[in-house]
Amino acid sequence: MKFKFLNINHLAITAIMIATSALVSCGGSGSKSTGDSTSKTTPTTTGGDANTLLGAGSTFVYPLFSKLFAAYNTQTGIKVNYQSIGSGGGILQLTNKTIDFGDSDAPLNDDQAKKMGADVLHIPMCSGAVVISYNLPEVKGTLKLDPEVLANIFLGKITKWNDPQIAKINAGIKLPETAIFIAHRSDGSGTTNIFTTYLSKVSSDWNTKPGKGSAVNWPVGLGGKGNEGVAGLIKQTPGAIGYIELSYAIQNKMTFADLKNKSGNYITPSVASTSAAGNITMPDDAKVSLSNTDAKDGYPISGFTWALIYKEQNYNGRTLDRAQKVIKLLWWNTHQGQKFCNDLNYAPLSPAAVTIAEKILKSATYGGKPIQQ
């Protein structure tokens, strides 16, 4: 089997667990703390440990956040307890005001924004690639997939790896008769939103049903919790295919396909091809989709991840000091923290995106007054 390796020096995540307990089709939540591994108490956003900030959400960005928050703790003494529970879980906890910030790989939809009850800022952290990983030990070489074939696989229309549609675009590769096993997310997921938004753009059948979103009714397959759970399903199941963030695939030495983009080029997911997809004009609110990029060398299933905070930080008895600490953390992430992106296989923000992030952070207030001058 041919693997694709990228430079992952300093990767600060643990190897993915593939035990059955990590692979669920519904419910449950995992919790990972970064920069606060020895804390035995759970601080609150209105009291407790003033030097511990609470975050929760995206598993997509967890490998990067793990490194960022450890480095930030070393530099500042501020701890960040981040729960890698999926974008949907992070949004729910922010809605309930039990964390200082959430993180999501999808902007809030209208219903989520309404439930927040107040304006929420979206601060871009980086962009990343959602790769199509597969488990075919007997296949030599890297498989190619095009949008139609990919959609038909996840719609359940293509059920064998030696299907003529797959064979046609993989001339010279001997494909097994192995049945295709679909692995997808079981939880509310920004990674799922990036993936299904792409499929909705390239396939009218997918757009009609199941459509796009952080959670959809999958036609076929089995769900895993988080990027870790989907990666575990793929690794332990011959014939499996699923979608995971690039860092998880590389850390676990998993194979992944080259994907045909809008320009007709088969693109390998990488920092460079993700950066190419993200080289766009970003709107002032930073809410933009990168999938199905027009860039000729851009990887087509790419997306931003956003830290989410309430614009008005004076709520539930929060102190000005705590609000300032949150803004300083996110400012550091979008500036000094960007140097960690490449080694962890994320695309750093462009200078234009950093400028947008600065403007958004400066719009945060405490008692109606700007926090960041």
- Distance separating alpha carbons of residues 76 and 60, to the nearest angstrom: 25
> DSSP characters for 50-75?
TTEEEEEE-STTHHHHHHHHHHHHHH
Confidence category of residue 291, pLDDT binned at 50, 70, 90: very high
pLDDT in tens, 74-102: 999 999 999 999 999 999 999 999 999 99
Q: What fold does the segment set 130-277 form as a domain? A: D-Maltodextrin-Binding Protein; domain 2 (3.40.190)
pLDDT in tens, 205-260: 999 999 999 999 999 999 999 999 999 999 999 999 999 999 999 999 999 999 99
Contact 179, 159 (CB under 8 A): yes
Is 20-126+303-370 assigned to CATH 3.40.190.10?
yes
Q: Of 350, 334, 327, 211, nearest to 279 (Cα)?
A: 350
Residue 196 has pLDDT above 60, yes or no: yes
Q: 20-126+303-370 and 130-277: same fold?
A: yes
pLDDT of residue 284: 97
Confidence category of residue 48, pLDDT binned at 50, 70, 90: low
Contacts of 105 (CB under 8 A, 6+ apart): 58, 60, 61, 87, 189, 190, 191, 193, 194, 303, 304, 305, 306
Residue 12 has pLDDT above 50, yes or no: no
Q: Of 54, 59, 55, 53, nearest to 30 (Cα)?
A: 59
Per-residue pLDDT, averaged over 131-140, amounts to: 96
Contacts of 52 (CB under 8 A, 6+ apart): 36, 39, 43, 78, 79, 80, 81
Confidence category of residue 47, pLDDT binned at 50, 70, 90: low
Q: Taking the domains of the chain in order of start, what are their residue ranges?
A: 20-126+303-370, 130-277
Please tell me the pTM assigned to this model: 0.86
Greater model confidence, 26 or 314: 314
Residue 4 has pLDDT above 50, yes or no: no
- Distance in Å from the first CA to the final CA of the chain: 54
Greater model confidence, 23 or 141: 141
The mean pLDDT of the chain is 89
CA 349 to chain centre: 15
Q: Tell me the one-letter amino acid at 60.
A: F
